[in-house]
Every structure is written in structure tokens, then in C-alpha cells.
Amino acid sequence: MQPMIIRANERGHASFGWLNSFHTFSFGNYMNPERMHFGALRVLNDDTVAPGEGFGTHPHSNMEIISIPLEGTMMHRDSMGSAQPLRVGDVQVMSAGTGLTHSEYNGSTSDVLKFLQIWIIPHTRDVEPRYDEVHVGDLTPNVEHTIIAPQGSDGKMWIHQDAWLSLTDLHAGASLERNERAPGIGTFVMPIEGSVVVNGTDLARRDAIGLYDASSVSITAHETSRILIIDVPVVLA
């Protein structure tokens, strides 16, 4: 199957004054039948929130929700009792399961908040809601750092899906070579910053590629780059 390639300037866009959001996949008023999801990866939103603004309390169910702050401070509250700030270097995960409510606000009255919002479809419905977070801090360059993995993966945050989320910082000219996770698992790659070439395809900042059946993945940085890598089942039960 041919790769899914989504250029940054081809993403959906929504602007509400307090929120400027780019949608890699169909979301809200952006509907593209060819970009509904990449396997179990349903949402990848690139959000900028104005000072003092944010997403008021709202519900979710049966979704694995991941937030990665890129700039500023995100104030999180939810119906499970979690209430804390998240900053650059933190990664947050929630299993919505049978249902939860939460809010995400910009914790600053002067600076913008930027973060990635990622939704992954779970393999099991109606689980007990849960919350977790980790501070990954500075990453050792030119090494893949797996932050989230399937349940039972030692030392990793986990979600209810056979999925992995990794970050890597590559120096200019450095490469990352990795094998396929397992049959039926695809790999989605986005340079958060910088530019790279993935299996022969050049990607600029916030471009992305989904590889459905690559037996190996090769990522080389044109310049110093931070790269998001998400491995998910590409055929849903």
C-alpha cells in the first residue's frame, strides 16, 4: 500500500481567536474522507491557545488521549481528580474508557500555549478511566525514546492499544534505522521541528508520512530535528 503523505500546508485548519488549530486528520468542521485516520491513530491536532484561554470542561469516552506540550504551560483538570500543570518535556495520557470530563487551559496570561493532541482508538471499550503523565526531559540525541507502549511494557506509560509513541532528536546528517514493530503495525512519522527524509520521502516541519507495510523505517535528518513516531495497528478489528 502506498504511504499516506500529509503536508503541513494541506492540513485542516480552524481559528477561533483564542485557538489556532491544524488537523492532520478529519476533525470538527474539517472533513476529508481520505484523511479520517491512519489505522488506530484517529486525531493529531497541532494547537496554539491564547493566553488565559483554553478548552472548558468537556466529556470523552472510549479513546486514548495523549497531550504533548511544545511551548508554555498547560493546566489540566479532570473528573478523576487530576489537577496539575504540564510543560515542555512532559507527556500526558488519559484512557477515557467509560467516560470522563476534563479541561485544558493556558496557564499563562501573557504567553501562548502550544501542544499536540493525539487520539488513538483503543482495542478494548468501556475500560475504567485512568490518567498518567511522565517528564521525559532532555532527550539523548540520535536515539529513539519510546514514551508510551502497550499495557505490560516495563517502565513505559501504557495505553489500551498495541501502539507505541516515541520521540527522537536527530542531529543534522544523523540517521535512525528501525525494523517493523510487528505484522499489521504501521508507522506514522512527523518532524515536530526540523526536516528529515523518511524512506526516501522528504518531510519539512509538521509534514507527516504514514507507512502501512514497511519492513524497515529509515529516518535521516537534513538539520537538527525533533521527530514524533507513532506505531499503531493499521487494520482495525
CATH of residue 126's domain is 2.60.120.10
Tell whether 211 is covered by a domain. yes
Tell whether 49 is covered by a domain. yes
User: Scanning the structure block, which residue is given the C-alpha cell 529516518?
Assistant: 219
**pLDDT for the residue 215:** 87
Tell whether 6 is covered by a domain. no
pLDDT per position as a tens digit, 96-142:
999 999 999 999 999 999 999 999 999 999 999 999 999 998 999 99
Same domain, 152 and 100: no
- Cell numbers describing residue 36: 479520517
Tell whether 57 is covered by a domain. yes
Q: For the residues 151-175, what does the mean pLDDT come to?
A: 93
Strands 113-120 and 41-49 turn out to be antiparallel
- Residue ending a domain, among 81, 106, 135, is 135
- Residue ending a domain, among 72, 104, 135, is 135
Same domain, 29 and 130: yes
- Residue ending a domain, among 112, 135, 158, is 135
Same domain, 37 and 115: yes
**pLDDT for the residue 213:** 87
Same domain, 16 and 130: yes
CA distances from 85 to 50, 79, 103, 104 (A): 16, 16, 12, 9
Same domain, 104 and 162: no
Tell whether 140 is covered by a domain. no
Same domain, 64 and 124: yes
Tell whether 4 is covered by a domain. no
Q: For the residues 36-46, what does the mean pLDDT come to?
A: 98
Same domain, 224 and 164: yes
**pLDDT for the residue 237:** 64
Q: For the residues 156-165, what does the mean pLDDT come to?
A: 94
Range of the domain at 172: 145-233
**pLDDT for the residue 214:** 82
Same domain, 205 and 151: yes
What is the number of structural domains in the chain?
2
pLDDT per position as a tens digit, 91-103:
999 999 999 999 9
